[in-house]
A and B are shown apart, each in its own frame.
Chain A
Amino acid sequence: NAGVTQTPKFQVLKTGQSMTLQCAQDMNHEYMSWYRQDPGMGLRLIHYSVGAGITDQGEVPNGYNVSRSTTEDFPLRLLSAAPSQTSVYFCASSYSGQGITEAFFGQGTRLTVV
């Protein structure tokens, strides 16, 4: 059982380049989300999805797009990378019913934009 898998683990981009961060989960979770983590800022929600075909913006969505064509996959696209997007990105998934709804995080993608 792999849990939440993120690729790549590290990436360096030039300003203006685009790329897609991949996220896949094998726990059949409905809820998936993307966070960015910057020093002293905690985890800030970029986009989230409550099921296939449904996405919504979080706290810091500008410069990012998402789609959710399947339950398993939730890719994050950077349209035109900027140095301000240098960060560590975490994908998470969780069960959306009653009871314990812990978020399972991927290993993270460390992105540097130069």
Chain B
Amino acid sequence: GQQVMQIPQYQHVQEGEDFTTYCNSSTTLSNIQWYKQRPGGHPVFLIQLVKSGEVKKQKRLTFQFGEAKKNSSLHITATQTTDVGTYFCAGKNSGGSNYKLTFGKGTLLTVNP
């Protein structure tokens, strides 16, 4: 079945440093979504990428979707303590169900003020 790998599993940064998490799928995706989960909270949708090579920005967050639609990344510029949480990518398989999301294991970001 479809697998979505995400690295790194953990990342600790000093406030102001940049952060990147990477996501790789074993199959071509129809789209990829990113979620953020604060400690003790539930996942919250950040963005959806659909097009090959797509790049989207949300303030200090930059999301990319690879040309082959099998990988993606989330980059945070100049981290802040409010960025703390676990970031998940979730892919929808282009060949199968239009509904099922396969989540990566997430990257836990901690920020030292």
A positions within 8 Å CB-CB of B:
31, 33, 35, 40-45, 48, 50, 58-59, 90, 92, 94, 96, 100-108
| A/B interface sample: 17 pairs, CB < 8 A | A33-B100, A33-B101, A40-B105, A44-B103, A45-B101, A45-B102, A48-B99, A92-B43, A101-B33, A101-B99, A102-B45, A103-B45, A103-B101, A105-B43, A105-B44, A106-B42, A108-B42
Option from A41, A94, A104 in Cβ contact (under 8 Å) with B99: A94
B-side interface residues, number (CB < 8 Å): 24
Q: Please, how many angstroms separate the alpha-carbon atoms of A100 and B47 in the complex?
A: 9
Q: Please, how many angstroms separate the alpha-carbon atoms of A43 and B106 in the complex?
A: 9
Q: A59-B1, A96-B99, A105-B42 are in contact. Are A42 and B104 (CB under 8 A)?
A: yes
Name 10 extra pairs, CB < 8 A, besides A35-B103, A42-B103, A108-B42.
Answer: A33-B100, A33-B101, A40-B9, A45-B100, A101-B48, A101-B99, A102-B33, A103-B45, A105-B42, A105-B44
Q: A59-B1, A103-B43 are in contact. Are A50 and B99 (CB under 8 A)?
A: yes
Chain B residues near A43 (CB-CB < 8 A): 43, 88, 90, 103, 106
Q: Please, how many angstroms separate the alpha-carbon atoms of A40 and B31 in the complex?
A: 24
Does B48 lie within 8 Å of A100, measured CB to CB? yes
Tell me the nearest residue of chain A to B86, going by C-beta.
Answer: A42
Q: Please, how many angstroms separate the alpha-carbon atoms of A54 and B9 in the complex?
A: 35
Q: Please, how many angstroms separate the alpha-carbon atoms of A102 and B102 in the complex?
A: 13
